[in-house]
Structure 1
Amino acid sequence: MTLPATTTVTATTPSTLYVYGIAPAGVRAPRAPGVDGAPVQLLTESGLCAAVSAAPARLRARRRDLMAHQAVLEELAAQGAVLPMRFAVLTPEEDVLVSQLRSEKQHLMRQLEGVRGCVEMNVKGVVVPGYFADLVRRDEKLRALARRTRRRPDYEANVRLGEALARGVRREARRAAQEVLAHLTPLAVRTAQGPLDDEQVLSTSFLVRATDERRFRQAVAARASALGDRLELSVTGPLPCYSFVDPRPASAGR
């Protein structure tokens, strides 16, 4: 679907609807209140339904509304496959959304089938500062630089050594991140890469079958134990499958 998403939105008409997600027809309407405390209802068309509520006049990414958005999706996910929308997705009126459900039925059905029985698990890995001693022992260039710095300590030499050590630590963390990916990827149906930087060297979402969640967590814990001196791992989930749905229609020829 081609609905815009932002974190601060002004609803221009009383008929504007807030959209939480798309599910197969027949699910129960969530009991949890939606964003701004609005009741959630289901719009059903062509074997699909959209969970919606009235959009507030002004929508901001406040904690209570983020939590309400998540609670609605969790109720839907507990009943089966759901295509979750990001926070602050609006549609101008009910008829527009119903028309999209009708025209994009096949694409949305394929998306639902792709995440059926699965959850999203997000794994992040950040550089562990201070991983120096073993690194210097194993790297001849760093050992030589450390020896020169000890013989002639000055500001520039210390800066060069510090920068070289930092690069080495990041390099080792990236290698550890690749090892984590090699162990976890076979446990997932699909993966989606997230943003990386010098400190966060691993950020990957894994589409995992719900029955494999425990095994996946155990695998993360094993990697964290083995690589904890180089890479600090964290896992978040189970989450709605945000990273593995493309609610827009496929382009011609795909």
Structure 2
Amino acid sequence: MALYVYAITGEDHPRHLDGLTGVGADPAPVRAVTAGPLCAVVSDIAEEIRPKRRDLQAHQDVQERLMAGGVVLPLQFGYTAPDDEAVRQALQENTNGYLATLERLEGCAEYHVRASQADEDELLRRILQDSDQARDINDRIRAGAQDPQLPLALGELIAREVEERQESLAAELARALMPYARDSATHPPSPPDFLNLSLLVPHERKDDFLAVQASLATQIDGGVEFRLTGPLPPYSFVQ
């Protein structure tokens, strides 16, 4: 029977899987497949798994149960294998790599930091206040100038200003938070976000990290929303 694979742990990880069922229309018990010093946490499946809400939640529930017991190498949603033997072979073929990754992730959790422009009107007001050129073009348009190039010029100027300001703020926020992380990963942001940053934060730095993040959130002005999610399984740092 095919298997759904949730994560890889060390053999001695206290997995506490009793009573936990996995993904699928007929959820099977979550169990471990062991190969040497490693275990893969799996459940039997009888169909192709789609990213439905129930299955996404089941996947996350397994990760959270495992994280409570120590370091875990989480797999992204949807990873499957033909059978137990295929899982054991995969563990054996990359034992050293998995062990190295588990060591690197030891004592850490992932946090996501996102920033978006929640108030576009406020940003526009700031640009018109700070940019003589933008303010001049805007004043000419409001005064009734008939030049059809003026709105286009103003739009292009504002777009450049928005991009430059958001890139600068994203870099500033990342610089302030990265000293508290063991590793970081920058992801392409999806509008309206202009920052999508993952940080691998050691447990002993968590309080300092959260304090700095909270301070930054109160300091940011200009209609910017700053959002934090975590602690999470360290998906972004699995290699």
2:17 aligned with 1:17: no
- C-alpha separation in 2, matches of 1:67 and 1:198: 25
1:70 aligned to 39, 48, 60, which one? Answer: 60
What letter matches 1:28 in structure 2?
R
Percent pairwise identity: 32
Q: Is the 8 A contact 2:111 2:232 kept in 1?
A: yes
Partner in structure 2 of residue 234 of structure 1: 227
The CA deviation at 1:177 is: 1.1
1:33 aligned to 18, 21, 42, which one? Answer: 21
Q: Secondary structure at the match of 2:8?
A: strand
1:79-98 aligned at under 5 Å gives the runs 79-98=69-88
The CA deviation at 1:197 is: 5.1
What letter matches 1:205 in structure 2?
S
Q: Deviations over 1:111-154 (max 9, x none)?
A: 00000000000111112411122322221221221222223355
Partner in structure 2 of residue 121 of structure 1: 111
Pick closer, same or farther for the CA change 1:42–1:198 going to 2, 3 Å: closer
Structure 2 portions without partners, runs of 5+: none
The CA deviation at 1:191 is: 0.5
- C-alpha separation in 2, matches of 1:168 and 1:213: 35
Q: Is the 8 A contact 1:184 1:219 kept in 2?
A: yes
What letter matches 1:171 in structure 2?
E
The CA deviation at 1:159 is: 4.9
Q: Secondary structure at the match of 1:39?
A: coil
Partner in structure 1 of residue 96 of structure 2: 106
- C-alpha separation in 2, matches of 1:180 and 1:146: 31
1:1-254 aligned at under 5 Å gives the runs 15-26=1-12, 27-31=14-18, 32-36=20-24, 37-128=27-118, 129-130=120-121, 131-153=123-145, 156=148, 157-196=150-189, 199-246=192-239
- C-alpha separation in 2, matches of 1:25 and 1:209: 22
What letter matches 1:35 in structure 2?
V
- C-alpha separation in 1, matches of 2:16 and 2:3: 16
- C-alpha separation in 2, matches of 1:81 and 1:168: 43
Q: Is the 8 A contact 2:111 2:231 kept in 1?
A: yes
Pick closer, same or farther for the CA change 1:57–1:195 going to 2, 3 Å: same
What letter matches 1:175 in structure 2?
S
RMSD: 1.9
Pick closer, same or farther for the CA change 1:149–1:78 going to 2, 3 Å: same
What letter matches 1:30 in structure 2?
L
Q: Is the 8 A contact 1:119 1:241 kept in 2?
A: yes
The CA deviation at 1:232 is: 1.7
User: After the TM superposition, which segments of 4 or more aligned residues of structure 1 sit over 6 Å from their partners?
Assistant: none
- C-alpha separation in 1, matches of 2:105 and 2:219: 31
Q: Is the 8 A contact 1:177 1:231 kept in 2?
A: no
**Count of equivalent residues:** 232
The CA deviation at 1:198 is: 5.7
Partner in structure 2 of residue 11 of structure 1: none
Partner in structure 2 of residue 7 of structure 1: none
